[in-house]
Amino acid sequence: MTIAITGAAGQVSTLIRPLLRVPDRVLRLSDISVVSDLAAGEEFVQASVTDLDAMTSFFEGADLVVHLGGHKSERPWRDILETNINGSHVVLEAARRAGVQRVLLGSSIHAVGFVRAADAAAAPVLPPRPDTYYGVGKVAMEALGSLYADRFGMSVVSARICTVGADIGTGGRTLSTWVSPGDLARLVEATAALDHPGHHIVWGVSANTRTWFSPEAGLAIGFKAHDNAEHHITPTTDVQPPNPTDLLAGAFTGDPTRPLGGTW
């Protein structure tokens, strides 16, 4: 099996690559930044997600595309439009041209950042309520994923990834939103085995005791999270539960130091 990963120099890819290295698998990596720490079974192509010809060539022969490329936080609208929205279109169109039937899109909690934490589990899939231009970019990514799944019979998973980390950091709201590298890798494996065409929006979050999210959509595609933030509590962890009336995006929805369209 060959898995093609965009944004391979970023945090998520760096955390999950060691967990995806198995015999008889090729991890084909791409980014505008060079990935130099290649292991056995990995190969790298330097390219931008906005380059249709480069992406089409990069995806040739792949069994799964994992799209993690693009800006990782808020940026001016023109940057989100060109790299995150247009880049998502390029990736999906390139996957279609290359004959790849399975695509995992790295969406974000910021696609629904204005939902209250207490309401997050009201439905397996929440309608969009983006908190930033970055969040709007993720909503557009999901919409494009839906279009390509329905129009071309592809299996597309949009993962609303929450708080990524090798550990839970200082705790607090992370006790509800943490997703471990192991569970992200399990989500990739579930998508690689998915034999059901269509668009599937799932939460990219671990099985945290204090989770705000329903696991139902993930379970429907074979993704079962195993890890739990509670198992990583230390004496310095802030274990105060977040206020359920808080918005999912927390400070990203109103912090004046993080203006809409700013560079964070």
Q: pLDDT (tens digit, 0 to 9) for every residue of the chain, 264 residues total?
A: 999 999 999 999 999 999 999 999 999 999 999 999 999 999 999 999 999 999 999 999 999 999 999 999 999 999 999 999 999 999 999 999 999 999 999 999 999 999 999 999 999 999 999 999 999 999 999 999 999 999 999 999 999 999 999 999 988 899 999 999 999 999 999 999 999 999 999 999 999 999 999 999 999 999 999 999 999 999 888 887 667 778 998 877 877 888 999 888
Domain ranges of the chain: 2-253
Please write down the HEC assignment for all residues of 105-125: EEEEHHHHCCCEHHHCCCCCC
If you search the block for the tokens 């790295």, which residue do you land on? Answer: 106
| Nearest alpha carbon to residue 58 among 71, 45, 41, 39 | 45
Q: Would you state the pLDDT for residue 264?
A: 80
Inter-residue long-range contacts of 25-29, CB under 8 Å, 24+ positions, other chains counted: 25/1, 26/1, 26/2, 27/3, 28/2, 28/3, 28/4, 28/58, 28/62, 29/5
148 among known catalytic residues: no
**pTM (two decimals):** 0.96
Q: Would you state the pLDDT for residue 242?
A: 67
Structure tokens, 186: 């399990």
- The Cα–Cα gap between 152 and 133 comes to 28
Q: Would you state the pLDDT for residue 252?
A: 76
Structure tokens, 172: 């607090």
2-253 fold: Rossmann fold (3.40.50)
- Of 59, 133, 134, 203, which one is the catalytic site residue? 134
- The Cα–Cα gap between 173 and 212 comes to 10
